[in-house]
Structure 1
């Protein structure tokens, strides 16, 4: 694979020297003569790695990194500073901004190539191994051990089976692990002072549980209960925290998941505030049907009526009447095994009236 490297360096002689070394190693090098040009080229054609001088006119290296880190398309690109300064404050400032490494001028060509190769290898492992299925998750945490930074991580990654109504964790408990659902369904919920449940999320194959308390280092603020026989991979807290603090890619993955969770909760609150019961039930069924698509159940919704009513924010009796109406209208099918959406188009139209 031919990697693309963007070199941002205002010293022409230095840029030519670095470019020639990298090109001899078969890297595709693009040179930007200053920080502004470098940002523009990185955003228009994102490279695989960026080498950037710190001291430049108009826009220095810190400014370049700050701008690129705010852009989702460039934020995860490995970023290496080139500097003639060896002062520790410069190193600290760069690392606080999110730089991946430093090379201090003057440097040996072999040292340059080693740093570039290491950062590209690390980024490639992180990027390709991390997916939301059991094989990818296992490969991700295992492959990171090929990197020097992760050789002390725990080798044990147990899996555990849970039965229906088992609790994976409870509100108030101290988190020690990250949970990854290999198979099954789990609900997370809170209980108010009247004992009524508020379901905060439905989770199925490919979802992570409990990562927010681990990141915040706080007790669980909700319960996680199994809705059907479920198998969960247990990832030790030390593995997860080490990866979060060592890899921008992993951190961004979980930040994005957290953002999606918050957006979903906000949308549900808006639905409860402004939509009719009929619209809220239709929305819940559509979302649950999508969640179960590809799970081998052909969209069968096996969530208990009580749980669906807690998601919708209505009494179980009102939910049952609405489901009966939907069945008569041919929108859903109801059997002893659960519910199944028959007409997505008409259910979706209900959301706009």
Structure 2
């Protein structure tokens, strides 16, 4: 049975609404003022809140604002009640983010329709969230066992050879094996880190306080950071001659640590899916209070369908290409930019080129 919290200081109306809810087969919870209403909402976590605006101590706007600052109550559907029919009053409630608005006096049919609409809306949102969660679980179950097993098998098999044939191996062979063991361990370590990071980002996305904390950070010299990371990545890939930089500087609204992760994943993706000897252009510019960073490579490219499906644990054309990876890199970069009120966009011509473009807010004094 759905729970509905009624916050109304006029006892007769409050009792009438509770009686109506009972007839409609909802569980009603009553609060005679805003302070008690906030407390009951946090205790019972109702499926819907119906709240009067004009109340002593804490009015309806105060109740709404208070509940929206707490993750557990931030998404509960909210219907305002008011004796006023002033458009400015209606606008204020809707600007705050209320879901609906009823003007007193209202009929049982009005109340029933408003409640039904919000309950159905919440159910649709929950169904969509569950569908995405199921999709994520499926992708994890399909890809993670393979992703973990491949580097782990390399570590186990090579280390067993080293242990069993230690006295027979020359120093060069030993060094090569140790290099491969280390390479597999690094890959496994990154996979575990990315898996944990992605899970953490999904949790942060549901907590407005943590999102606000993320957006309060700045990077003061992104140009220096991008040059440094690009230099390391291209040297390791032995593709220094392929790197072309054209960068501008600005103070942007993201921590240096998070920006580094975004840059690393985008550069890794460009190096992985393009051939040595083909150029990669890394450029930045300032536009409409945004810092625009783009990475362009001339590699295998992506179809529009593949771009639309960029998501966790999806890797396209796995059988056609030897590159390993869980497909989490771009999704993590995308999620990080979105959490910082930015965006990540992919432009691609299959078989020709791919450009990944991120836009992040510029710090405003």
The TM-score with structure 2 as length reference comes to 0.43
The TM-score with structure 1 as length reference comes to 0.44
More helix by share: 2
User: Which of structures 1 and 2 has the bigger CA Rg?
Assistant: 2
